[in-house]
Amino acid sequence: MLTVARVEWIHNRRDVRSLFVILALPVVLLVLYGYGINFDLDKLPFAVFDLDGGEASRDLLQQFVQSRYFWLREVITDQRQIDGLIDHGRVVFVLVVPPDLGRTLGAGRSAQVQVVLDGADTTRAQVAIGYIEGALFDYSSRLALQYAVRQGVSPSSPFTVHPTILYNADLRSTRFIVPGLIAILLTILSALLTSTCIVREREWGSFESLVTSPAHATEILVGKMIPYVCIAFVDVLASMAAGRFVFGVYPEGSIALLLSAGVLYLLASLAIGVLFSTTARTQQMAILFAMLSTLLPTILLSGFAFPLRSMPVELRVLSNVIPATHFLVIIRGLYLKGAGLAVLWPRLLALFGFAVVLVTIAARRFQKRL
Q: Is 277 a member of any domain? A: yes
- CB–CB of 333/339 below 8 Å? yes
- pLDDT exceeds 70 at position 351: yes
88 and 235 housed in the same domain: no
The pLDDT tens digits of the residues spanning 22-40 come to 778 788 888 887 777 766 6
182 and 306 housed in the same domain: yes
Classified as helix, coil or strand, 115 is strand
Q: Is 63 a member of any domain? A: yes
Distance in angstroms (rounded) separating the CA atoms of residues 232 and 226: 10
206-211 contacts, C-beta under 8 A, 24 or more apart: 207/370, 208/370, 210/4, 210/368, 211/368, 211/369, 211/370
The pLDDT tens digits of the residues spanning 92-119 come to 999 998 888 878 877 767 788 889 998 8
Burial of 274 (0-12, 13-18, 19+ CB in 10 A): buried
Phi/psi at 74 (nearest 5 deg)? -160, 145
- How many domains does the chain fold into? 2
139 and 285 housed in the same domain: no
What count of other Cβ atoms lies within 10 Å of the Cβ of residue 234?
Answer: 13
Q: Is 155 a member of any domain? A: no
Q: Is 156 a member of any domain? A: no
User: Count of H helices and E strands in the chain?
Assistant: 15, 4
222 and 103 housed in the same domain: no
- Would you state the pLDDT for residue 279? 78
Contacts of 99 (CB under 8 A, 6+ apart): 51, 52
Distance in angstroms (rounded) separating the CA atoms of residues 274 and 8: 14
Q: Which CATH number goes with the domain that contains 145?
A: 3.40.1710.10
For all residues of the chain together, what is the average pLDDT? 82
- pLDDT exceeds 70 at position 360: yes
110 and 29 housed in the same domain: no
Compute the C-alpha angle 358/360/366, nearest 5°: 105
- pLDDT exceeds 90 at position 349: yes
259 and 139 housed in the same domain: no
Distance in angstroms (rounded) separating the CA atoms of residues 201 and 8: 11
Structural element, H or E, at residue 97: strand 93-97
Strands 44-50 and 93-97: parallel
- pLDDT exceeds 60 at position 143: yes
Helices (H), ranges, 195-216: 199-204, 207-211
- pLDDT exceeds 90 at position 312: no
Q: Is 162 a member of any domain? A: no
The pLDDT tens digits of the residues spanning 244-285 come to 888 888 888 899 999 899 889 888 888 888 888 877 778 788
83 and 57 housed in the same domain: yes
69 and 23 housed in the same domain: no
In the structure, what pLDDT confidence band is assigned to residue 345 with cuts at 50, 70 and 90? Answer: very high
The pLDDT tens digits of the residues spanning 71-99 come to 999 999 888 899 889 888 899 999 998 88
Classified as helix, coil or strand, 215 is coil
| 235-244: average pLDDT | 88
190 and 339 housed in the same domain: yes
DSSP secondary structure string, 75-95? EES-TTHHHHHHHTTS-SEEE
Ordered strands of the 114-117 beta sheet: 70-76, 44-50, 93-97, 114-117
Residues in the chain: 370
Decide which of 83, 117, 150 is a domain's last residue: 150
340 and 203 housed in the same domain: yes
- CB–CB of 271/229 below 8 Å? no
What count of other Cβ atoms lies within 10 Å of the Cβ of residue 219?
Answer: 17
Q: Is 160 a member of any domain? A: no
Query: What does pTM read for this prediction?
Result: 0.76
Domain that holds residue 239: 2-37+172-365
272 and 361 housed in the same domain: yes
Q: Is 108 a member of any domain? A: yes
Q: Is 370 a member of any domain? A: no
193 and 276 housed in the same domain: yes
Structural element, H or E, at residue 214: none
Distance in angstroms (rounded) separating the CA atoms of residues 307 and 183: 16
The pLDDT tens digits of the residues spanning 319-344 come to 888 888 999 999 999 998 888 889 89
